[in-house]
Amino acid sequence: MNFTKKMMTAALALAASAAHSADLEVTHWWTSGGEAKAAAAFAKAVTEGTDHTWVDGAIAGSGGTARPIIISRILGGDPMAATQLNHGRQAEELIEAGLMTDLTELAEAEGWADFVNPTALLDSCTLDGRVYCVPVNIHSAQWLWLSHDAFESAGLDVPSNWNEFVAAAPALQEKGIVPLAMGQQGWQQNIAFAALTIAVVGVDTWRQVTVEKNADVAAGPEYAKVFEAVVDARKLAEDSNVQDWNLATNMVITGKAGGQIMGDWAQGEFAIAEQVAGEDYTCLPGMGLNEVIDTGGDAFYFPVVDDLEVKAAQLEMASILISKEAQVAFNLAKGSLPVRGDIDLSTANDCMQKGLKILADGGVLPSGDQNLSADTQTQIEDLMAEFWASDMTAEDAQGRYASIVADAD
């Protein structure tokens, strides 16, 4: 029987495990098709590059579901060997409580500071001068993904920015195509909001609100335009009734929807569907209006463990994750940008090249994760969830947004 066989294999593996190999449980929330492939690339790199075994601890659902599990396990005294967390303020308290392994020595020995690009990534892994995490990729959330099929069937050209997209929407609707695919989850709606913000008001104003937390600006006339834009977008997404982001992406892939505002990880889904950037779909960083991307992304943390073997293995693993080979394999699968400025990504597709170019031009912003606490993020996501799903007016939404910003810490 299958199960018996598995038990046997497991038992044999256990018996065969030599003195210096450790099982490294790695938790992450990469569970969609493209993401899972990327995780597998890391697993392969670790398993082949060391004596240790990657024990996959994928937690389904978005980061919102997975993070609490990860954190409660670390706090609960049952830490995993390594875990994905968005770098930024999420891990601050855990680091302060001494629950995360200090990677500074490894980072200095390998000279991470020299090749990590942009350097902001390493900064956000650093607290009081010590490095606590390995950044593994750069994700940016300000992308508009467009379906060529959809626009062709409506007899339109593929838009080149958000404004054209809005203008083209009625024609799509006539054809029974949903103009904007939108998963009904707060974090997705928040991404759309953030992307629209940068597209509408530009980087400087955005920075005043998000980084400096200026509630007056948030309540001001410029931001009012953002909320008007969201109200427009909300109309375009009226008929989109999926929940998960990848189902929304799938609507774009199958031409049921004209476009989707989503992070660059959506690219993984297009890749799995064997679609080609520029032929089957188009990606517009910064919504085609303000060509900047944020430098959020994923990072790996290594909780403090008692087991000495695991301790040693953690450092080996950290070194592997940031190595050139693993970075290439992982990021190609995931559709994200590598954190090293010194690797050649000529194999990358059209969209990634766009991203790399923006990165090279320095059009980078810090991501929301780095600026806002989880608490504030959750409140904004809750607000967005409500705003997008109801007929709340732009003024109301803006007022509440401003008060969240005012209370943010």
Partner 1 sequence: MVDLTSPVHDRIVDGPRGAKPKSRLSRRNIFLYGTLLLISVYYLLPLYVMIMTSLKGMPEIRLGNIFSPPVEVTFEPWVKAWSQACTGINCDGLSRGFWNSVQILLPSVILSIGIASVNGYALANWRFKGSEVFFTILIIGAFIPYQTMIYPLVILLREIKLMGSVWGLVLVHSVFGMPILTLLFRNYFTSLPEELFKAARVDGAGFWGIYLRVMLPMSIPIFVVAIILQVTGIWNDFLFGVIYTKPETYPMTVQLNNIVNSVQGVKEYNVNMAATLLTGLVPLIIYFASGKLFVRGIAAGAVKG
Partner 2 sequence: MTLPAPSRTHQKTKRPAQLFRNLNAKFASIPMILTALVVFVGGTTWTVVHSFTKSRLLPKLDFVGFDQYERLWSSNRWMTSVENLLIYGVCSLVLTMTIGFTLAALLDRKIRFEGVFRTIFLYPFALSFVVTGLAWQWILNPDFGVQNVVRGWGWTGFAFDPLNNPDIVIFGILIAGLWQGTGFVMVIMLAGLRGIDEDIWKAARVDGIGVVKTYVKVIIPMMRPVFVTALVIIASGIIKLYDLVVAQTNGGPGISSEVPAKYVINYMFRAQNLGQGFAASTMMLLSVIIILVPWAYLEFGGKKRG
127 three-class SS = strand
Q: Is 247 in the site for partner 1 (CB under 8 A)?
A: yes
**CA proximity to 361, closest of 115, 118, 112:** 118
Other beta carbons less than 10 A from residue 361's beta carbon: 10
* Cα–Cα distance measured from residue 245 to residue 261, given in angstroms and rounded to the nearest whole number: 10
In whole angstroms, the minimum distance from the beta carbon of 68 to partner 2 comes to 3
Stretch 207-246 residues interacting with partner 1 (CB under 8 A): 244, 246
- Is residue 231 a contact residue for partner 2 (CB under 8 A)? no
39 binds partner 1 (CB under 8 A): yes
Question: Number of helices (H) and strands (E), helices first, in the chain?
Answer: 20, 13
Total residues belonging to the chain: 409
Does residue 393 bind partner 2 (CB under 8 A)?
Answer: no
Please state the closest distance from residue 183 (CB atom) to partner 1, in A. 11
Q: How far is the CB of 247 from partner 2 (least distance, A)?
A: 11
| Distance of closest approach, residue 95 Cβ to partner 2, in angstroms | 10
For partner 2, the closer of residues 97 and 109 by Cβ is 97
Residues 14-53, mask of contacts with partner 2 (x by CB under 8 A): ----------------------------------------
Stretch that binds partner 2, among 71-79, 118-126, 155-163, 296-304 (CB under 8 A): 71-79
> DSSP 3-state assignment of 10?
helix
Binders of partner 1 among residues 53 to 82 (CB under 8 A) are: 55-61, 69, 72-73, 75-78, 80
Selection from partner 1, partner 2, none that 110 binds (CB < 5 to 8 A by kind) is none
Q: Is 194 in the site for partner 1 (CB under 8 A)?
A: no
Task: Specify the residue, 186 or 255, whose C-beta has the smaller distance to partner 2.
Answer: 186
Query: SS3 of 30, please?
Result: coil
Nearest Cα residue to 75 out of 101, 104, 100, 103: 100
Sign of CA dihedral 378, 61, 249, 45: positive
What values do phi and psi take at 27, rounded to 5? Answer: -100, 140
Dmax over Cα atoms in the chain, in whole Å?
68
| Binding partner at 31 among partner 2, partner 1, none, C-beta below 5 to 8 Å by kind | partner 1
Residue 164 near residue 317 (C-beta atoms within 8 A): no
- The pairs formed by 205-213 with CB atoms below 8 angstroms and a separation of 24 or more are 206/365, 207/365, 209/405, 210/368, 210/371, 210/372, 211/366, 211/371, 213/405, 213/406, 213/408
Angle between helices 324-334 and 33-49 (to 10 degrees): 160
Q: Which of 388, 394, 402, 408 binds partner 2 (CB under 8 A)?
A: 388
Parallel/antiparallel/unpaired status of strands 281-285 and 143-147: antiparallel
Q: Which residues pair with 19 in a beta bridge?
A: none
- CA separation for the pair 406, 404 (Å, rounded): 5
Residue 173 CB, shortest distance to partner 2, in Å, is: 18
CB of 51 to partner 2, least distance (A): 34
Q: Which region among 49-57, 281-289, 312-320, 395-403 touches partner 1 (by CB under 8 A)?
A: 49-57
- Give the residues lining the site for partner 1 (CB under 8 A): 2-3, 6, 25, 27-28, 30-33, 36, 39-40, 43, 55-61, 69, 72-73, 75-78, 80, 244, 246-247, 250, 269, 272-273
- Give the residues lining the site for partner 2 (CB under 8 A): 64-65, 67-69, 71-72, 75, 90, 92-94, 97, 184-186, 189, 241, 243, 373-375, 377-379, 382-383, 385-390, 400
